[in-house]
Amino acid sequence: AQTVTQSQPEMSVQEAETVTLSCTYDTSENNYYLFWYKQPPSRQMILVIRQEAYKQQNATENRFSVNFQKAAKSFSLKISDSQLGDTAMYFCAFSNYQLIWGAGTKLIIKP
């Protein structure tokens, strides 16, 4: 069965610091997508970044970047220059034929 594991239930960092959220997954598939979603206190689910498994280059969206290690089945999210507005739950998701979700990491950015 395909699973997604986020081993950090909660993290907190100071504003402007860099933080990395971990995600590992288990699959025997070769073609899949990976996503990070953000859920701020408003509870809206927002797509942060996506990575296609066949692409070796790590995806980047402004201050958000991923470290995709296909062999290790690892997909971490790095947030640079963190801002107060980055405070949210972050969910990692694996997609093949269905979207499989991790349990989430609560990230708190302190002023």
Residues near other proteins, by CB under 8 A: 32-33, 35, 37, 43-47, 50, 91, 95-99, 101-104
Nearer to other proteins, 7 or 44 (CB): 44
8 Å CB contact between 107 and 50: no
Count the neighbouring beta carbons within 10 Å of the beta carbon of residue 92: 27
How far apart are CB 31 and other proteins at their closest, in Å?
Answer: 8
Cβ proximity of 2 and 96 under 8 Å: yes
Q: Give the nearest distance from C-beta 90 to other proteins in angstroms.
A: 11
Q: How far is the CB of 93 from other proteins (least distance, A)?
A: 9
User: In whole angstroms, what is the distance from residue 97 CA to residue 110 CA?
Assistant: 38
Closer to other proteins at the Cβ: 97 or 111?
A: 97
DSSP letters, 67-87, are EEETTTTEEEEEE-S--GGG-
Nearer to other proteins, 16 or 45 (CB): 45
Quote the least distance from Cβ 70 to other proteins, whole Å: 16
- Alpha carbon distance 35, 91 (integer Å): 8
The smaller minimum CB distance to other proteins, of residues 14 and 60, is found at 60
